[in-house]
């Protein structure tokens, strides 16, 4: 089974939904090339508003419906999946950093509220953290979605792997000051869980924070299919899901686990 996965590594205009939507439209119109392979496209974390958290009451999208409708139109137009690309959503429980999965018919088929809230961005002051994994079927492939800071929590990503995830999609706003952590953690998550990792980071500057780009597409042995630079760019790669089974059958990490000794009191 083969898929094509892609990242739209974009800058984000703080609080300007129209400009951010237009940027995605322009990049898809300019750089998307049709393929016979099913294609999934990932966009950055908080792509619709950026971290304009102090303006959440004004900017939050009720249940993320507006963003899902916008991506749904693009998904139908180009016949692709959109995965990740979280938005500032208002919910019955409060505000959420919410990733969305849109299929080629334009339907919202899964969503994920970021579980690990990063204090450096004051997320804990505004967001209610999610408590559930985001697993979905992508053209017969077991896929999952997480957001940015989540990749620092190996237990959380291992939970996805234990539930059968073969491709993990990551959307992020990761600062360039910790770019080496981003790269190392992504490769580690791919290697230790023997799965593909498709990670899209934003680029550009917000106030005094520089965001490093460096989006990556990684194989189940940690091999690098694509690594982005520091500016806006789009990239696509074909991946063979049979490699996941081959890797897991060769080095039987999951069969060799000893979970009864891992608990911490």
In order, the DSSP letters of 151-189 are: GG-HHHHHHHHHTT-SEEEEEE--BGGGHHHHHHHHHHH
DSSP designation for 129:
P
pLDDT > 70? residue 265:
no
Residue 191's φ and ψ, nearest 5 degrees, are -65, -50
Q: Is residue 262 part of a domain?
A: no
Q: Is residue 265 part of a domain?
A: no
Q: Is residue 45 part of a domain?
A: yes
Supply the pLDDT for residue 11: 98
Number of domains in the chain: 1
Distance CA 91, CA 30 (A): 34
Domain that holds residue 144: 2-249
CATH code for position 63? 3.60.110.10
Q: Is residue 124 part of a domain?
A: yes
For 221, counting Cβ atoms within 10 Å of its Cβ (0-12 exposed, 13-18 middle, 19+ buried), the class is middle
Closest CA to 146 of 122, 156, 137: 156
Q: Is residue 158 part of a domain?
A: yes
What's the average model confidence in pLDDT over 10-34?
97
Q: Is residue 264 part of a domain?
A: no
The count of other CB atoms within 10 Å of the CB of residue 125 is 12
The count of other CB atoms within 10 Å of the CB of residue 246 is 14
This model's pTM is above 0.85: yes
For 73, counting Cβ atoms within 10 Å of its Cβ (0-12 exposed, 13-18 middle, 19+ buried), the class is middle
Q: Is residue 259 part of a domain?
A: no
DSSP designation for 73:
H
> Which pair of tokens denotes residue 251?
């080095």
Strand (E) or helix (H) holding 224: strand 224-227
Active site residues: 45, 114, 148
Distance CA 182, CA 150 (A): 11
Provide the mean pLDDT of the chain. 97
> pLDDT digit string (tens) for 77-132?
999 999 989 999 999 999 999 999 999 999 999 999 999 999 998 999 999 999 99
Q: Is residue 256 part of a domain?
A: no
Q: What burial letters (b/e) apply to 139-173, b meaning 16+ CB within 10 Å?
A: bebbbbbbbbbbbeeeeebbbbbeeebbbbbbbbb
> pLDDT digit string (tens) for 34-75?
999 999 999 999 999 999 999 999 999 999 999 999 999 999
């Amino acid at each position: 089974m083969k898929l094509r996965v892609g990242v739209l590594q974009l800058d984000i205009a703080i609080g300007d939904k129209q400009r951010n939507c237009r940027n995605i439209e322009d990049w898809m119109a300019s750089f998307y090339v049709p393929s016979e392979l099913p294609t999934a496209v990932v966009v950055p974390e908080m792509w619709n508003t950026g971290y304009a958290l102090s303006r959440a009451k004004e900017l939050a999208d009720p249940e993320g419906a507006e963003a899902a409708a916008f991506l749904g139109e693009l998904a139908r137009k180009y016949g692709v999946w959109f995965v990740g690309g979280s938005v500032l959503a208002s919910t019955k429980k409060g505000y959420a950093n919410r990733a969305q999965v849109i299929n080629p018919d334009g339907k919202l088929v899964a969503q994920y509220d970021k579980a690990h809230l990063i204090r450096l961005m004051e997320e804990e002051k505004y967001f209610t953290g999610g408590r559930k994994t985001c697993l979905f079927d992508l053209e017969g492939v077991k896929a999952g979605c997480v957001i940015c800071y989540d990749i620092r929590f190996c237990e959380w990503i291992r939970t996805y792997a234990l539930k059968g995830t073969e491709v993990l999609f990551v959307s992020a706003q990761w600062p360039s000051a910790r770019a080496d952590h981003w790269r190392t953690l992504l490769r580690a998550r791919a290697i230790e869980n023997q799965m593909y990792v498709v990670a899209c980071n934003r680029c550009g500057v917000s106030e005094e924070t520089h965001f490093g780009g460096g989006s990556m597409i990684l194989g189940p042995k940690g091999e690098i299919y694509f690594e982005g630079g520091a500016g806006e760019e789009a990239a696509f790669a074909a991946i063979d899901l049979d490699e996941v089974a081959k890797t897991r059958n060769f080095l039987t990490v999951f069969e060799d686990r000893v979970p009864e000794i891992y608990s911490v009191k």
